[in-house]
Amino acid sequence: MRLDRYISNSGYATRSEVKKLIRSGAVLVNGKTVKAPDMHIDENADTVTVGGKEIRYKKYVYLMLNKPAGYVSATEDKHYKTVTELAGDEYKGYDLFPVGRLDIDTEGLLVLTNDGAFAHNVISPKKNIYKKYFAVLDKDAEDKDIEEFKKGMIFDDFTAKSAVLTITGKRNEVYIEIAEGKFHQVKRMCKRVGKEVLYLKRVSIGSLELDKDLEPGVVKELTEDEINLIFG
């Protein structure tokens, strides 16, 4: 692999910044200064340091974000701040994107990655991975709503599979589990039973729960065990 790609894929800096670093003499391969960004290195055998710090290559990254309201689930946007901006400089070299979308006003668990196959597996309705949301409604949920959610719902553009509505001690505060993630799905399902969603937060994907210690707007890298919880 090219030296500049190896360093940028490690998340250290962007490709153009990496080129400058290499040309400035800050990069050593096996202890020797290298000034050619296109030098080929063996990612399993060579040791690369930048300013004395060893760089470890990671092809894919998986981040848990506690999404705050006010950010769009996109990589670029003309008008709004994007969720990928929240990953910070450390992950600049990766082409991160959000796994599925949360509305601009929705908060909570969002995974950012650069692994397209993984993202597909999480999002695909065929994989039946349930996403759980906490919602505050404008009215109290009724027991008959539970049945409506359970039956699934037919919309013009898609059919929502059987969903789970759980009413908490406060009847206008509910948990909703859905197997898909269509545009405004939770809000549309609630509307179908005559309720508006006033507040929405995703709390889990599969068995992976939002880390309660993760502040809004902050990311943390997922461990392999945590990634497996999504599918487990």
Name the residues annotated as catalytic.
103
| N-term to C-term CA, the chain | 34
Binding footprint of ligand URA, residue count (CB under 6 A)? 8
* Positions in 146-205 near ligand URA (CB under 6 A): 184-187, 200
The least distance separating ligand URA from the CB of residue 130, rounded to whole angstroms, comes to: 12
CA distance 104 to 3: 38
The region of 18-26, 89-97, 102-110, 161-169 touching ligand URA under the rule CB under 6 A is 102-110
* Two structure tokens written together for 35: 């000034």
Q: Which residue has the tokens 């309720």?
A: 195
* Positions in 198-227 near ligand URA (CB under 6 A): 200
CA 73 to chain centre: 9
Q: For residue 5, give the nearest of 52, 39, 28, 50 by alpha carbon.
A: 39
| CB of 21 or CB of 208, closer to ligand URA | 208
3-class SS of residue 53: strand
Would you give the binding string for ligand URA spanning residues 103-142, x where CB under 6 A is met? x--x------------------------------------
Phi and psi torsions of 141, nearest 5°: -75, 150
| CB of 5 or CB of 187, closer to ligand URA | 187
